[in-house]
Structure 1
């Protein structure tokens, strides 16, 4: 009887937290966010340090400068300009990239063989930064806590100090804690990041029309499944159709922004 009472208390706490933390994403989709910006930054910082330990950082200065150039232009149009972004190019054949709370961007050198030119690279970086902007990591880790068992959920959601559940947090942020592989978000989150990322790249002076070409390139890589970046993403046809429909809104933003661009990013040959 006592254990049943404790279980009901735990459930009530979790449901209460879920109700009070429900909000809307930037595109109007419902989200449950249980963690503060400070907690998410701590998770992002810890996860990025872990990735840098597990993955080889590229020593190619020209490629690193190029990636930083594109990333800096994308982050320069974000609403919060107090956040400094740390950009690292990893020496890996993975066709992927990621961004984490706390201002961290990781790019795998394999992506540069598929993302042809700065506009296509900006498509991916805008998409990944949009995940952070839309608090998708917070949404994922909050869902993980709510679907757990026992009072540990409530303790974590109430803000227990420290980042104790390393595997859960890294997975929720889109990372595999064991092997350093990038994991996908859900399809609704991916579609949302596509829309937001397209606007970011356009406002940064990158041609949003190249987003369609980028995803067409992606669909040709890695056989029928495509590269890691496409795992559980919206189907290529749906994604491309959505991006094409958005061109009418985004091209004017690009036309206005490109005249103001001072720092042209040129891919090394």
Structure 2
């Protein structure tokens, strides 16, 4: 019964499609719900973390972010680009266009094009509504787990047996649905992100250069069997396969910030106001 119910819910996923890829999605939350959750989550992050403003680093994040946002085709998003002072190689984009980049990542993403690869990837998660999809699938698993437990209890099983069946169901669904789907989302974000950076005038080859740096830093130690993220090596291979499509959208700009190995200058970080910053930040 639980499996049949989940199959029914997955069948309803056809009404939602991921942008660019057309992948069917299970989406249970509205755009308004997403925006509220994204805003609330970013407010919590900024309460706990130290934001950097008025520096070359924050200006660089803002400049690159605005160029990506300009081609994202989400006029309803109230884009924000925050720089967090922390020696962590991380970045994220919350629903509704709330982006944060940690200063530790800026030490690795030395060029604007490399930074655009990361920001494009994170923005792609928001455009494809991956957070919504993850929450929707988690909700599906919870309902299925409850249905399995009720089924055992209705058949005369003990509460301990019902709990064991429910836990087993949740674990199986996590391995069979949640983790593979999360890895699929990562590749999808790489695909969409590569197109975004190309449309914004950044050389897509820079994405491979960035992940080669990450691979060198990690030493190739990470296993991806139980990870929601593919290994750096697998990601690089996948990106190489995506490059021809991305390059068809690439038109280098003459501001010196487009380059990866395929052209343009290195696009090193520069001071505030030295690049196209785009419109004034919204929602700050």
| TM-score between the two structures when normalised by the length of structure 2 | 0.70
Aligned-residue CA RMSD (Å): 2.9
Kindly indicate whether residue 278 of structure 2 is the aligned counterpart of residue 267 of structure 1. Answer: no
Residue-pair matches, total: 224
Matched residues in 2 for 1:119 and 1:218: separation? 15
Q: CA deviation at 1:251?
A: 2.0
SS of 1:105's equivalent in the other structure is: strand
Matched residues in 1 for 2:182 and 2:114: separation? 22
Q: CA deviation at 1:225?
A: 4.2
Task: State which of 79, 98, 117 in structure 2 corresponds to 1:104.
Answer: 98
Q: CA deviation at 1:220?
A: 1.8
Match of 2:136 in 1: 142
| TM-score between the two structures when normalised by the length of structure 1 | 0.73
Match of 2:207 in 1: 211
Conserved 8 A contact 2:110-2:268 = no
1:151/1:191 Cα in 2 relative to 1: closer, same or farther (>3 Å)?
Answer: closer
Kindly indicate whether residue 17 of structure 2 is the aligned counterpart of residue 24 of structure 1. Answer: yes
Conserved 8 A contact 1:21-1:34 = no
1:242/1:17 Cα in 2 relative to 1: closer, same or farther (>3 Å)?
Answer: closer
Q: CA deviation at 1:146?
A: 1.1
SS of 1:106's equivalent in the other structure is: strand
Matched residues in 1 for 2:33 and 2:4: separation? 23
Kindly indicate whether residue 111 of structure 2 is the aligned counterpart of residue 117 of structure 1. Answer: yes
Q: CA deviation at 1:18?
A: 4.8
Deviations 1:150-171 (A, max 9, x none): 8999xxxxxxxxxxxxxxxxxx
Conserved 8 A contact 1:130-1:197 = yes
Kindly indicate whether residue 250 of structure 2 is the aligned counterpart of residue 258 of structure 1. Answer: no
Aligned pairs for 1:29-68 within 5 A: 29-59=23-53, 61-68=55-62
Kindly indicate whether residue 81 of structure 2 is the aligned counterpart of residue 87 of structure 1. Answer: yes
SS of 2:269's equivalent in the other structure is: coil
Q: CA deviation at 1:60?
A: 5.5
Conserved 8 A contact 1:117-1:267 = yes
Kindly indicate whether residue 233 of structure 2 is the aligned counterpart of residue 237 of structure 1. Answer: yes
Conserved 8 A contact 2:117-2:194 = yes
Unaligned runs of at least 5 residues, structure 1: 1-7, 154-184
Unaligned runs of at least 5 residues, structure 2: 148-180, 259-266, 272-284
Task: State which of 53, 58, 69 in structure 2 corresponds to 1:75.
Answer: 69
Matched residues in 2 for 1:37 and 1:118: separation? 30
Match of 1:247 in 2: 243
Matched residues in 2 for 1:47 and 1:11: separation? 32
Match of 1:179 in 2: none
